[in-house]
Structure 1
Amino acid sequence: MPKGTTSRRPRTRAALLEAALATFAEHGFQASTIEQVCSAAGFTRGAFYSNFSSKEELFLALFDEHSERILARLSAALESVPDGELTVGRLVELVSVIEPAERDWYLVTTEFTLRAIRDPQAGWVLARHDARLRAALAEGLAAGLARAGLALTVPAEEFARLLVALREGGLAQSYVEPEQLPPGTLERRFLPALLHTLTVPRPTPEEN
């Protein structure tokens, strides 16, 4: 292996991912070509195929990168709240944050989801990545609620599904009517009621 190959590879991969997100968001996943991604990143097809086997694998890498970033942001936000100050209202505020760059990702992932609905193999693969994201999200939410003195009355992963559905459905409407429904509005308005309905006070050690 030539000197510098190992150190260059993460940078090459990161540049390809960044270019792919921008290309897919502008032209659509289906219409975009590997050549367009390579051109936007400033690399050759050889550099692409040394990192990814296909455009689908590139999307899934984007999916995992996006998931890790969202989970890391939520975890850091939760950790920044001192013990005793994490309430349902504060938790909802943290969960409802929608970054401006989320619109590009929403465009890309929505198109791939439609592909996955039509293609059972693509659906099976996407479902596995979705499941890993939900499991991590469920774990983080359960931990956050525990710090707020609450426990879910439904399985955490089912609640994570509901939260994802609320977020994605809300964003679809927000991006069509941004002035009438700014991103995160539905979560801020209805998530407190859902949490109050689907949680109970967490037993203290003395009560156990």
Structure 2
Amino acid sequence: MTKRVTKRRLETNERLLDAAEQAFAEHGFHGVSISDLCARAGYTSGAFYSNYASKDELFLALFTRRSEIVLKQLGEAVDQAVVSEHPIATLIESASVVDEETRTWFLISTEFTLYAIRHPEAAEALARHDAAIRAAVAELIAPLLATAPSKVTEADLDMLVRFVVAVREGGLAQSLVEPTVLPHGELERRFLPALFEGLS
């Protein structure tokens, strides 16, 4: 039987997610126990297990919550880009902003990715989530690609999104390590416009 979602249950879930995000960023995915999370959120372990079966499941809920925020921001950036004189450059500039939330999420997601690589079940679950996000991103950027004739087929679009994500995440890792050498978004600004021009 499906559990009824009450206001109290939603609040409990949000507090657990907030506590997990802070704890994972500070101590790492492995450095935080379920009892640590519950103590930080002000709940017993019963509250945790009434919402999640494991830390893996909790992380994927965090992933979903963060993805919704990022997709909303991307949608707004695309809306601005399609009406600008230089759509691709405008989108890249908007997407290159790195704030403390971006840094925090990068720490959490990178560590969980390493965990997933070592654990097949976690990898399968993360891959499903990643695929859903790529599909959403592809749908959002479709109007941008439509501003000029494009060689990108529907089958290619998923691979294109994979490539852009790889540049974004790889560049972010390097710029967080060497912020004075590689400013945030520099790789994207230098190379992605040429990529999209070559596809049109």
TM-score norm. by structure 1 comes to: 0.86
Unaligned stretches of 5+ in structure 1? 201-208
20-29 vs 172-181, greater mean Cα deviation = 172-181
Whichever residue aligns with residue 24 of structure 2, its letter is F
Does the Cα contact within 8 Å between 2:82 and 2:143 map onto a contact in 1? Answer: no
For 1:101, what is the secondary structure of its paired residue?
helix
Whichever residue aligns with residue 16 of structure 1, its letter is L
**Runs of at least 4 residues off by over 3 Å:** 80-86
In structure 2, the CA distance between the partners of 1:38 and 1:142, relative to structure 1 (3 Å rule), is same
* Structure 2 Cα separation of the partners of residues 126 and 46 of structure 1: 26
In structure 2, what is the equivalent of residue 48 of structure 1?
A: 48
Does the Cα contact within 8 Å between 1:142 and 1:151 map onto a contact in 2? Answer: no
Unaligned stretches of 5+ in structure 2? none
CA offsets per residue over residues 103-160 of structure 1, 9 Å max, x none?
11111111111111112221111111111011111111222222x3343435111100
1:112 aligns with 2:104: no
In structure 2, what is the equivalent of residue 192 of structure 1?
A: 193
Larger radius of gyration: 1
RMSD over aligned Cα atoms:
1.8
80-89 vs 32-41, greater mean Cα deviation = 80-89
**How many aligned positions are there?**
194
* Structure 1 Cα separation of the partners of residues 125 and 24 of structure 2: 19
In structure 2, what is the equivalent of residue 12 of structure 1?
A: 12
* Structure 2 Cα separation of the partners of residues 75 and 86 of structure 1: 17
Q: CA deviation at 1:76?
A: 1.9
TM-score norm. by structure 2 comes to: 0.89
* Structure 2 Cα separation of the partners of residues 62 and 131 of structure 1: 16
